[in-house]
Amino acid sequence: MTSRTQETHIAVSHTDPGLADKASALAAQLGLPLYRSEENTPALLLTLTPDRLELRQTGKGAEGPLFVDFIGGAIEYRRKQGTSRKEAIARAVGLKGGARPVVLDITAGLGRDSFILASLGCTVQMVERSPVVAALLADAIERARQEPALIEIMSRLSLIVGDSLDILRTWQGERPEVIYIDPMYPHRSKSALVKKEMRLIRQLVGDDEDSDQLLAAARAIATRRVVVKRPRLVPALRGPEPNFSIGGKNSRFDVYLSALTAASPEQKT
């Protein structure tokens, strides 16, 4: 199922009459209907508030709003604690010594992994194919760029809206050293391990059925390595075996070295 099919269950709304024009422009940009209270309420609302853009579930048992925030909350705590180059994600992308690889994150989602990598000094280009997820991300980027403490990190972070498979297959110009992939894994349960945010994103975009193809396309482009994030106990993506894996708390990072890197032992973790 494509993100475009699923996004028909969503409309754009706003909480403040002063945001009506902005909401209309956003709806037109995304090709989504504007929510009108007299109509049936869709399952999801992309809601403009004076502070930020939010994705809201409607109906009984609705989860709290989803928004992307690089300034406060968990990500601020993590940034202030200091993200360490010893962390699994840092070792997985090959951060050591002075190395700060250029990373293409081809499944950007809510941008948390990209933000962590940018905090560690990597230049990160994110790609997201869901226009709604990308709009949430773009809104957070715009807000974070106004925050003095984040100017340097945000200068290393950019976003492309599009399908990574198309982008990789028609790639031109300088190739990224590292390609990072964190596809949506088809969890069927409502387990606590599947965070609320990811449940909402899944409701919006569905499962990522093309992850195996993404891995193959990424391996053809990355000059150093491809890193695939997986839930800790699930099998690797279909294709060649990873060269090695690094375990995190709930996740595992499967690392596929490019031919050149594999031949040079000092380039491994």
Residue nearest to ligand SAM (CB): 109
Q: Residue 113, interface with ligand SAM (CB under 6 A)?
A: yes
- Residue 37 Cβ vs ligand SAM, minimum distance, rounded to whole Å: 29
Nearer to ligand SAM, 102 or 165 (CB): 165
Q: Residue 128, interface with ligand SAM (CB under 6 A)?
A: yes
Amino acid type, 159 = L
Q: Residue 208, interface with ligand SAM (CB under 6 A)?
A: yes
Q: Which of 127, 132, 141, 154 binds ligand SAM (CB under 6 A)?
A: 127
d(CA 242, CA 18): 52
Sign of the four-CA dihedral 63, 6, 254, 165: negative
- Closest by CA to 215, choosing from 242, 235, 233, is 242
d(CA 79, CA 265): 31
Taking 3-state DSSP, the helix, strand and coil percentages for the chain, each rounded to the nearest 5, stand at 35, 20, 45
Q: Residue 164, interface with ligand SAM (CB under 6 A)?
A: yes
Contact by Cβ (8 Å): 105, 126: yes
Nearer to ligand SAM, 183 or 242 (CB): 183
Q: Residue 160, interface with ligand SAM (CB under 6 A)?
A: no
Q: Residue 252, interface with ligand SAM (CB under 6 A)?
A: no
Sign of the four-CA dihedral 68, 73, 74, 80: positive
Cross-strand partners of 192: none
Number of residues that bind ligand SAM (CB under 6 A): 24
- Residue 265 Cβ vs ligand SAM, minimum distance, rounded to whole Å: 29
- Residue 208 Cβ vs ligand SAM, minimum distance, rounded to whole Å: 4
Contact by Cβ (8 Å): 116, 89: yes
Q: Residue 7, interface with ligand SAM (CB under 6 A)?
A: no
User: Contact positions toward ligand SAM, by CB under 6 A?
Assistant: 3, 106-107, 109-113, 127-130, 133, 163-165, 182-184, 201, 205, 208, 210, 214
